[in-house]
Structure 1
Amino acid sequence: SLIGLFLNDQDLKKKAKQYDEIAKDVKLAAVLGAGIMGGGIAYQSASKGTPILMKDIREEGIQMGLAEASKLLGGRVAKGRMTPAKMAEALTAIRPTMSYGDFGAVDIVVEAVVENPKVKQIVLAEVEGVVKEDAILASNTSTISINLLAKALKRPENFVGMHFFNPVHMMPLVEVIRGEKSSDVAVATTVAYAKKMGKTPVVVNDCPGFLVNRVLFPYFGGFSKLLGFGVDFVRIDKVMEKFGWPMGPAYLSDVVGVDTGHHGRDVMAEGFPDRMAVEGRTAVDVMYEANRLGQKNGKGFYAYETDKRGKPKKVIDPQAYELLKSIVTEQREVTDEDIINFMMIPLCMETVRCLEDGIVDTAAEADMGLIYGIGFPPFRGGALRYIDTVGVAEFVALADKYAELGALYTPTAKLREMAASGQKFFG
């Protein structure tokens, strides 16, 4: 699997290089919406040599964005990875602004405002009116359709999605989302800019959740089913961490933010109602209604205390168990293997669908997206490599064993054909 991973990475780099021939050079970038995300994007751009304007409508947003960039740059100096002179150079390459004054010279604008389609459409239409005709607009959205956002624009051919993962400085993946009207030049320029920022871009087609979130929500769907059967979330986290994930689903939910997960789930349910719509209340609803949003407000599935180094440390909170009692529909005994299958089958199945639907071009890109975007266990090679390792026919038989759990566990007709004819995703 790890050798396959290396080869997939080479494929990805080769593919990204092909875009270089038509990509336009990005000499000046801009980010709309400062804050933590905008500050992270500004830091990434400036520290890799591309000056960037950072615009917000509020002074405190600007201050938050600058503080985030300073903190990240200071961290590099403290570790000896950057000289103080280079830090000063990078900081001066981030130009905070509350107006569109200098936007006439910008080559690419990354919109990173609140995850609300109406707000994003207003902001994108506004910035389109002040940039030059061939400037690229990119939306850092995690779930909203690029085709939907493009409807607000006069030049939709210059518009793409550019989805960064949190925290920006740590996560290597950037999803570049091609809308129906996105031009090859817009896609190529965004890919080249992502590479210049030191990121690994994967080009995907537009659909709710794109590749990574579309695949992640069925995984959380499996988690939800386990909690409905009265399984302890701490046990689920331990089993999935032992399987190879950097953190279990409950902890991941707290880190991402329960409110973010709640919103994303609704978007996905609307996009794929046949398999992602949920009946009744789930654990995420219970946490959200109790205002337990995860690390951001100190309480989610776990409670959070600050350790000696000032980092949030998770502790067990009996109140979370009390709240979860209300969503248990039946007590069911499950083995550790069941826990893995409950979680992994829907994730793998949705990855298969993304490949079949043409959301992603190749199995290599699908797998690398999951490894770089959500920390899929690297030694397992990605979701499609994992199916190959289990055996396609064996995986289909395993999924059929869990068929009563619903449409997320149902193999596609094409996967059944592959199983019957002994085909694999790789080799």
Structure 2
Amino acid sequence: MIYQGNAITVTRGGDDIATLTFDLQGESVNKLSSAVIAELEQAVKAIQAESGLAGLVLASAKEAFIVGADITEFQAMFGKGGEFLESMLHRVHGIFNAIEDLPFPTVTAINGLALGGGCEVLLTTDFRVMGDKAQIGLPETKLGILPGWGGCVRLPRLIGADNAIEWIAGGTQNRADAALKVGAVDAVVPGEQLEAAALDILARANAGELDYRARREEKMQPLRLGPIEQMMAFETAKGYVAGKAGPHYPAPVEAIKVIQKGAGEERARAQAIEAKAFAKLAMTEVAFNLVGLFMSDQVVKKKGGQFEKQARPVKQAAVLGAGIMGGGIAYQSASKGTPILMKDIKEEAIQLGLKEARKLFTKQVERKKLTPEQMAEKLANIRPTLTYGDFGSVDLVVEAVVENPKVKGAVLTEVEGLVGEETILASNTSTISITRLASSLKRPENFCGMHFFNPVHRMPLVEVIRGEKTSDAAVAATVAYARAMGKTPIVVNDCPGFLVNRVLFPYFGGFSQLMAQGADFQRVDKVMEKFGWPMGPAYLLDVVGMDTAVHAGEVMAEGFPERMGSLGGNGEKSAIQAMFENDRLGQKNDRGFYAYEEDRKGKPKKVSDEAAIALVKSVAKESREFSDEEIISRMMVPLCLETVRCLEDGIVGTPAEADMALIYGIGFPPFRGGALRYVDAMGVAAFVKLADGLAEELGPLYAPTEKLREMAAAGETFYAAPAQA
């Protein structure tokens, strides 16, 4: 034994080959925490001190190689400032460079996921052999930072600037065949042959058959690109990536700049450029929020996993109500391997549902994600039916009929009598109380809400809604089914609108008040899109549909009359109601706040419509100009306050779940971290002061809760300050 630690061991084998094995004790995966990096430093020193070695293999004893750096340490580290970060990075560079400079050939055996810092470790060795099921990549730009442990320096020299830009700026996970094609690895073999393949490469290098010194030299030198090639590679890429990433996500373009600046430099100088850029990005609010989001996502996944452990597996599902929504649910279930019955009372609805599923599968074939044979196999997982004949063997039924309590109640009562006693019933409702729908059921404990967002195949969130009598077993099975469908389920308690719609409608309420005071809805859309929303509120209402918005507004008004009464039409007519009454339903009939025409791909394209502008003006009580800051605060304060209320009322369990639901469900700008992180960033006291000022003029929708005032007075936040790493 050359070295023994808690995460790393180094052994000496036959032919004087050392094997450094990552195996972090007490964890299911290998992560590069500060403690593991300290061990790696000691392990490398022990290797350097060992005489007579002829080679080194880097390997992992776990299913994954190394999933990356320990992200739970990031925020505390970032909080220590740029100088600390640069110093830390230079120390890691020193350790990694020591591996790269060992006086004998080195190889990494990549047996599973090797991401971020895990990928940067394997770039230090002379050779890489990869298991056929493994994946590698540098996803740091998705966290608002860039590879800081040599990834921006070594990868371009290994696979060329163009390929490295694609990997790093895109933050992609790359399969073994793709890695071999660009030269990131030297061989791909079945997992059980990894060790033998790695040892064979070292033997060939020691025999002079493979020139490891030439390989190493290439990684140390400037990139072999002439001035014109450099301009073509970098300037074109910066323009394209900036367009894709948008102005709120600087990391992908910054990564290209780092590769460009380091292209003409040798290793030490290129690494210094990388370290400086990493420290600069790490100090931004975007990086802080995106790292926070990653950790929130882990909270949500962990909770989902805990439910899944308790669940009876769903081997056969069913959806009631075909059409677009039913077809989307059937597609999602079938595509992920759970067979599903799709029932409707009308043959034309069945055909519409099948057409929707077929269209989505065809797109997968066109994108080469599926072969025609795989499409046929998956499509066979959907069995259309006009009867309940096979429902006796179904584990879970999703009811997706029209959003009407009487119709839903009748369908649920009917199907309950035809399924097994343990079958779970779940209603895909966006607003109707689960407790109310359960009142006519004989087994209300087997019933919950399962709210999908439209379009089903794109939107990652599923709200699983617990009614007053819903059992843990029903929640667990529904969560497990949602996860099996590739969705992110978040469990919430029953109330009007549940979590996402309850929070969204005060946002629409803020919009309606702006319209009543004469704001230009097209300008409001532009301001909120610039703020980071994928679409402004008027455009979003057109996508949702004015009939749906009016119905949901009435539910909110009934449930929360004091602050949302106006959403149901009490008092003055809103711009949303005016649209509805004038049959301007939005995209579903090509007229709403905007008019819609088909673009070249057959998708609806919005255009300005004078009739809509005149209609909105007709319901305005006054004409006022608003600054961008006023528009943002008028829109965001009610949304954030309702999120606070949902947390206080126990509708959602944690700030992390609340924020992830808004990001996954309605496209809250991820770089802002979610509604509660947004309040934290502003400062709770500053937010309360802003809300109070607006409430004086605009009423209860803008009034802070008493508990929020107490948090402000005590200097508290929704997220605990990160512990110092």
Q: TM-score range by the shorter chain?
A: over 0.9
- Give the alignment partner of residue 302 of structure 1, picking from 594, 614, 628: 594
1:9-408 map, 5 Å:
9-278=297-566, 279-403=571-695, 404-408=697-701
Q: In structure 1, what residue type is equivalent to 2:430?
A: S
Counterpart-to-counterpart distance in 1, 2:300 and 2:427: 22
Task: Return the structure number with greater relative CO, CA threshold 8 A, min gap 6.
Answer: 1
- Greater mean alpha carbon deviation, residues 331-340 or residues 123-132: 331-340
Secondary structure of the structure 1 residue equivalent to 2:518: coil
Match of 1:416 in 2: 709
Secondary structure of the structure 1 residue equivalent to 2:401: coil
- Greater mean alpha carbon deviation, residues 165-174 or residues 315-324: 315-324
Q: How many Å apart are 1:333 and its aligned residue? A: 2.2
Counterpart-to-counterpart distance in 1, 2:451 and 2:421: 23
Counterpart-to-counterpart distance in 2, 1:183 and 1:146: 13
Aligned Cα root-mean-square deviation (Å): 0.6
Measured against aligned partners, the alpha-carbon deviations of 1:30-67 in whole angstroms (never above 9, x if no partner) come to 00000000000000000000000000011110010000
Secondary structure of the structure 2 residue equivalent to 1:133: coil
- Return 5+ residue gaps in structure 1 as ranges: none
Q: In structure 2, what residue type is equivalent to 1:114?
A: V
Counterpart-to-counterpart distance in 2, 1:321 and 1:379: 32
Match of 2:95 in 1: none
Counterpart-to-counterpart distance in 2, 1:86 and 1:152: 42
Q: In structure 2, what residue type is equivalent to 1:327?
A: V
Measured against aligned partners, the alpha-carbon deviations of 1:265-304 in whole angstroms (never above 9, x if no partner) come to 0010000001001122101111001101001101000000
Q: In structure 1, what residue type is equivalent to 2:701?
A: L
- Greater mean alpha carbon deviation, residues 77-86 or residues 169-178: 77-86
Q: How many Å apart are 1:20 and its aligned residue? A: 1.9
User: 4+ runs of 1 displaced by more than 2 Å?
Assistant: none
The percent of aligned pairs where both chains have the same amino acid is 71
- Return 5+ residue gaps in structure 2 as ranges: 1-288, 721-725
Measured against aligned partners, the alpha-carbon deviations of 1:335-366 in whole angstroms (never above 9, x if no partner) come to 11000001000000000000000000000000
Q: How many Å apart are 1:21 and its aligned residue? A: 2.4
Counterpart-to-counterpart distance in 2, 1:265 and 1:400: 24
- Greater mean alpha carbon deviation, residues 317-326 or residues 202-211: 317-326
Secondary structure of the structure 2 residue equivalent to 1:26: coil
Match of 2:273 in 1: none
Match of 2:4 in 1: none
Counterpart-to-counterpart distance in 2, 1:98 and 1:260: 27
Counterpart-to-counterpart distance in 2, 1:384 and 1:83: 43
User: How many residues of Structure 1 are paired with residues of Structure 2 in the alignment?
Assistant: 427
- Greater mean alpha carbon deviation, residues 19-28 or residues 202-211: 19-28
Counterpart-to-counterpart distance in 1, 2:629 and 2:309: 48
Counterpart-to-counterpart distance in 1, 2:307 and 2:538: 39
Counterpart-to-counterpart distance in 1, 2:673 and 2:467: 29
